[in-house]
Amino acid sequence: MTAALQTPASTVRGDSEDQRTQVPAADHHTAEALDRARVAAARVTDPEMPMLTLVDLGVLRDVAIEDGRVVMTITPTYSGCPAMATMRDDLQRELQDAGFEGAEVRVSLTPAWTSDWITEEGRKALKGAGISPPGQAPQHTGPVVLTLMPTKRALTCTLCGSANVKLSSEFGPTACKAMYQCLDCLEPFQHVKEI
Amino acid sequence: MTNEPSIHVDHDEAGANIEHGDHENAYSGLLVNDAHWAFGTDFEDPLAGVDTTVPSGVDPKDLAAYCLMLGDDALVFSQRISEWCSSAPDLEEDIALANIALDLLGQSRLLLARSAAADPSLVPQLPEGSPVPDEDRLAFFREDLAFRNVRLAEVPNGDFAEAVAKILIYSTWRLAIFERLQSSRDSVLSAIAVKGVKEMSYHRDFAGRWVLTLARGTEESKTRLLTALEGLWPLWDELFETHPVEASVAAAGIGVDPAEVADEAGVILDQVFAAAGIERPERGALAGVRGQKGRDGLHTEALSKMLADMQVVARQYPEGQW
């Protein structure tokens, strides 16, 4: 069973996976435990968007075992993300239920989270829940461009599929979402912002 | 710890509170498990697991003082914007303002935590056993004269035109600084800046669009916008004055000399004004007191009143569990 996280923290993950394949005997127990820990961590969902796991959201960056203890790394979506403490608690609770006492959760600020890390699975789950998934995040090379006209996004209404939609606000009920309205079926819907 | 309120609640298997009758308290369930709150109430270190080693070639005290300046800007302005909560012209703008305030509060929390990690002597002492984390000690237990924010951040709120004008000025200035701060040699400051740039790009666009809308709206909306800009303009120059701490951290490759971004920020603002069909206000700069301004801890009376409001509960219960 592989429970590899689909996150960009591939270097760290790669190291632990290499260990697993190279040392079959002594560390077999650790490798098996790591698998179980990853499976447990991968079950935890985002407190604000429960249709997404933290893996789908790209927030859970790494699961490792250090000195016999599970250490997980998460990264905030926004500086003021109020859900970080809950994510940590949920991860620790899930790991405890899976038999891992005292799991540690660390915060990683670099590299900064981007909506591009939301997995394909996550995008499908968002759509399924009536939330429009983000497009490609803007690349900030050189000065940030001032945009005085509403951001143009090629979106479709999550209810009726119409492309005739209007941005009502760049700021929605959570820090990571914008508000749209469909001009055909009139349904308002949320869109996860590109960041 | 003494005088700590404690409430004991029993649960049945489903987790519901078992009523005992003798101490029925509608809030008791909330104190049992943090998960019952929307996002938990306990404190955690926002820099848990982050390497806060001070880079070579910079005085830790300068780094801490610099982070305090940036953190106070964000904290004080966040508090001001959050005062709009439930008072904006419509729900969308109310939520937008709350979102902007939240982003700034998050930036402030990280900056103040970074400041405390670089120079623990800055952090106010509280009674032993107090659970208040360092960044909250800095936010809630310092006097007004210890705050190092620019005075623009503390200006009392006016109407909605004043709010968007102030956010435009602040985010134009701040974005220019954070764009450079991304390459700071301090990995924590750099990470805060990378994230902040993404967030404040949205803030600047939001405010810029509203400035356009108001300027090209009715005579009334245009008049209000121009009045707001006139009132704020005396605080523009202060944003680009170099404090010795800023000069020191800039020379060390850790911070940004705000004077360096003056032209760039001015050009951006002029683009907004040109699109809006309005002129840059012509008002002289607000003087300091014996040359001292916000970065020196010299503030307007408005800051003291704002802090009294913001800090009173935390100060009343320095050992409180929330």
Tell me how far apart the alpha carbons of residues A9 and B306 are, in angstroms, rounded to a whole number: 42
Check whether A182 has a pLDDT greater than 70: yes
Q: Which residue has the higher pLDDT, B156 or A174?
A: B156
Task: Please name which of A48, A40, A125, A56 lies closest in space to residue A91, comparing C-alpha atoms.
Answer: A40
- Give B-chain residues touching A176 at CB under 8 angstroms: none
Interface test with A, best of B91, B97, B195 (most A CBs within 10 A): B195
pTM: 0.84
Contact A89 B35 (CB under 8 A): yes
The rounded Cα B82 to chain-centroid distance in angstroms is: 10
Query: Sign of dihedral through CA atoms B264, B265, B267, B271?
Result: positive
Tell me how far apart the alpha carbons of residues B250 and B58 are, in angstroms, rounded to a whole number: 10
**DSSP letter, residue B226:** H
- Give A-chain residues touching B105 at CB under 8 angstroms: 80
Contact A85 B191 (CB under 8 A): no
Q: Which residue has the higher pLDDT, A140 or B204?
A: B204
Residue B34, pLDDT score: 46
Residue A140, pLDDT score: 67
- Give A-chain residues touching B180 at CB under 8 angstroms: none
Contact A195 B92 (CB under 8 A): no
Residue A27, pLDDT score: 67
- pLDDT (tens, 9 = 90+) of chain B, 322 residues, equals 344 444 444 444 444 444 444 455 555 544 444 444 444 444 467 887 788 899 999 999 999 999 999 999 999 999 999 999 999 999 999 999 999 999 999 999 999 999 999 999 999 999 988 889 999 999 999 999 999 999 999 999 999 999 999 999 999 999 999 999 999 999 999 999 999 999 999 999 999 999 999 999 999 999 999 999 999 999 999 999 999 999 999 999 999 999 999 999 999 999 999 999 999 999 999 999 998 999 999 999 999 999 999 999 999 999 887 6
Contact B96 A170 (CB under 8 A): yes
Residue B32, pLDDT score: 47
Task: Please name which of A79, A82, A109, A119 lies closest in space to residue B198, comparing C-alpha atoms.
Answer: A79
Task: Tell me how close the Cα of A181 comes to any Cα of chain B, in angstroms.
Answer: 12
Those residues whose C-beta lies under 8 Å from the C-beta of residue B9, and which sit 6 or more positions away, are: B17, B18, B28, B29, B31, B32
Residue B175, pLDDT score: 97
Contact B272 A179 (CB under 8 A): no
Contact A79 B92 (CB under 8 A): no
Query: Sign of dihedral through CA atoms A63, A65, A71, A75?
Result: negative
SS3 for A3? coil
